[in-house]
Structure 1
Amino acid sequence: MRVHVVDHPLVAHKLTVLRKRETPSMIFRQLTEELVMLLGYEATRDVAVEPVTIETPVTTTTGTRLARPRPLVVPILRAGLGMLEGMVKMAPSAEVGFLGMARNEETLDIVTYAERLPADLTGRHVFLLDPMLATGGTLVEAIRFLYERGAARVTCLCLLAAPEGIARLEESLGDMEVDLYLAALDERLNERSYIVPGLGDAGDRLYGLAE
């Protein structure tokens, strides 16, 4: 697994405002979209492309377009939905799927309760969106799910991660090829498995439930 922390003044500034307790959900959603666009710019740097011949007003030239099969953007419900708009603005020709996963509170297993994906992901580069990489359980199962469907490559975009979550991904995924793009790698998890210093519950803050 390759971990990329995007080191950029705009990322640092926007993340600082995002972390603040008093930032309202409307601004939180806007900043999340902007951060995902910045992360997405870096995460798509080596996306597959192919040459294409076009006519400009002056002459014929060779340009570049995204190769087929097109990239697939998959937010993990619910909080990942808040990242979707920023990613599709960066890659408007990408297709979009959805994956709903939750922890069974009795067994502590991660269960898939909803999915809307192509049946066959052979050859597809999938961009998986989830704001917080805390314990890593959900992301591990999502990555496995995508590779079992035949995905050729999985790139994860998260706003924040804890070292414990990254360690779990490295331990659980073996030789699966995964790139992880972060706005920041934080200090640790607390006793409630919240990222510290973190930004609280991303889903609640995105949708106004924390106000």
Structure 2
Amino acid sequence: MRVTVLDHPLVAHKLSVLRDKSTPSPVFRQLVEELVTLLAYEATREVRVEPITIQTPVAETQGVGLSRPRPLVVPILRAGLGMLEGMTRLIPTAEVGFLGMARDDTTLDIITYAERLPEDLTGRQVYVLDPMLATGGTLREAIKFLYRRGAEQITCVCLLAAPEGIAKLEEELGDAEANLVLAAIDERLDENAYIVPGLGDAGDRLYGVVD
């Protein structure tokens, strides 16, 4: 697994505002979209293209277009939805699927409670959106789910990650072709599995608290 952390002053600035607990939800949502667009630039560096012929106002020339099958963007519900527009702004022709995953409070297993994806992902490049990589459980199960459907290359786009979560992914995914693109790696997880210093619960800060 390849891990890329964007080293850019605009990424650091926007992330700093996100971390501030006084940042209101509308500003938080806007900044998430902007950050994801910056992350998507790096995440799509290896997106597949093919040669095409185009006609400019002056002459015919050769260019490139996205190859088929189109890239597939998969936000993890619910917090990943806040990242979707920032990603599709950069690749508007990508297809979009959804995965709903949650931890069972009794068994602590990750369960898939909703999905809207093609049955066959053979040969597809997939971009998974999840704001926080904490313990790594949800992202690990999402990657395994997509590989079982036949995905060929998976790139995960996250705002923050904890070292423990990255280590868990590397341990359990082995040599699987999965890339991780991040705005930052934070210090650690606390006793409640929250990222420190983190930015709190991304879903609640995007959409409010749901009882």
TMscore range, shorter length: over 0.9
1:45 shift after superposition: 1.0
State the SS of the aligned residue for 1:181.
strand
Match of 2:151 in 1: 151
Q: Gapped runs of 5+ residues in structure 2?
A: none
The 4+ residue runs of structure 1 with deviation greater than 2 A are none
1:58 shift after superposition: 0.9
Aligned counterparts, 1:21-170, within 5 A:
21-170=21-170
Q: Over residues 52-88 of structure 1, what are the superposed CA-to-partner deviations in whole Å (9 max), with x where a residue is unaligned? A: 0011111100011111110000000000000000000
State the SS of the aligned residue for 1:21.
coil
State the SS of the aligned residue for 1:166.
helix
1:106 shift after superposition: 0.7
Q: Gapped runs of 5+ residues in structure 1?
A: none
Could you tell which deviates more after superposition, 153-162 or 168-177?
168-177
CA distance in 2, matches of 1:188, 1:177: 25
Aligned pair 1:173/2:173, yes or no?
A: yes
CA distance in 2, matches of 1:7, 1:191: 29
CA distance in 1, matches of 2:175, 2:105: 29
Aligned residues: 210
Match of 2:186 in 1: 186
Aligned residues: CA RMSD: 0.8
Match of 2:201 in 1: 201
1:29 shift after superposition: 0.2
Match of 2:12 in 1: 12
**TM-score in terms of structure 2 length:** 0.98
CA distance in 1, matches of 2:84, 2:145: 19
CA distance in 2, matches of 1:23, 1:208: 13
Q: Over residues 85-105 of structure 1, what are the superposed CA-to-partner deviations in whole Å (9 max), with x where a residue is unaligned? A: 000001001000000000111
1:108 shift after superposition: 0.7
Match of 1:2 in 2: 2
State the SS of the aligned residue for 1:57.
coil
State the SS of the aligned residue for 1:154.
strand
CA distance in 2, matches of 1:149, 1:93: 21
CA distance in 2, matches of 1:16, 1:50: 38
Q: Which amino acid is 1:182 matched to?
A: L
Q: Over residues 109-155 of structure 1, what are the superposed CA-to-partner deviations in whole Å (9 max), with x where a residue is unaligned? A: 10100000011000000000000000000000000000000000000
1:209 shift after superposition: 2.6
What is the percentage of aligned positions where both structures have the same residue?
A: 75
Q: Which amino acid is 1:21 matched to?
A: K
Q: Over residues 30-64 of structure 1, what are the superposed CA-to-partner deviations in whole Å (9 max), with x where a residue is unaligned? A: 00000000000011111100010011111100011
CA distance in 2, matches of 1:26, 1:192: 27
CA distance in 2, matches of 1:145, 1:175: 16
